[in-house]
Amino acid sequence: MFSLVKKFLLAAFCITLTACGFHLRGQATLPFETLYVDASNDSSFATELKRALRSGTNTRLSDNPKDAEAIFQLVSETRDKQIQSVNTGGTVAEYELRMHVSFRLHDNKGRSWIVPTEINLKRDVSYNDTNVLAKDYEEAQLYKDMQSDAVQQVVWRLSGAKAPI
């Protein structure tokens, strides 16, 4: 009896999930079979992008731009922190963390698949002098979250790229 109730609840849950439009992200379909990522070797963004492309698409990453159907060029990647507010004592109370990623996608002949594009992300973080280590960790986690978000946005934009004519 109890197992029958569990099965019924599980079935109802699955039907509810499918009815709301939920589905796993699955693999992104990119309009090219091979891709070369033109970025600095020490770029954590490029490393995460390559990992996402390997695991989330059928596109092969090439080690040589001449062998690739498309070339992803990371134009710039910057991180910035600006003061948002100060308290009555004149010390910082809140920061705004910013991440800026600029890229383009082209082929070996220089024809653009995606014109130079920018992704700008922002996060607010409070600051407290008594918890410096915790706030530093929180800041690092927020930058990591922004980077993951930017990588997903790039993959999404790559999937919508149109071949140059």
pTM (2 d.p.)? 0.79
Q: Which residues of the chain carry a pLDDT beneath 70?
A: 1-5, 8-9, 11-26
Query: Burial letters for 71-95: b for 16+ Cβ neighbours within 10 Å, e otherwise?
Result: bbbbeebeeeeeeeeeeeeeeeeeb
Reported as a single tens digit per residue, the pLDDT across 55-78 is 999 999 999 999 999 999 999 999
> What is the C-alpha to C-alpha distance for residues 90 and 80, in angstroms, rounded to an integer?
21
Q: 28-159 has which fold?
A: Double Stranded RNA Binding Domain (3.30.160)
**2 secondary structure, DSSP code:** H
Task: Parse the chain into domains and list their residue ranges.
Answer: 28-159
pLDDT at 9: 65
Q: CB neighbours of 65 closer than 8 A, spacing ≥ 6? A: 36, 38, 71, 108
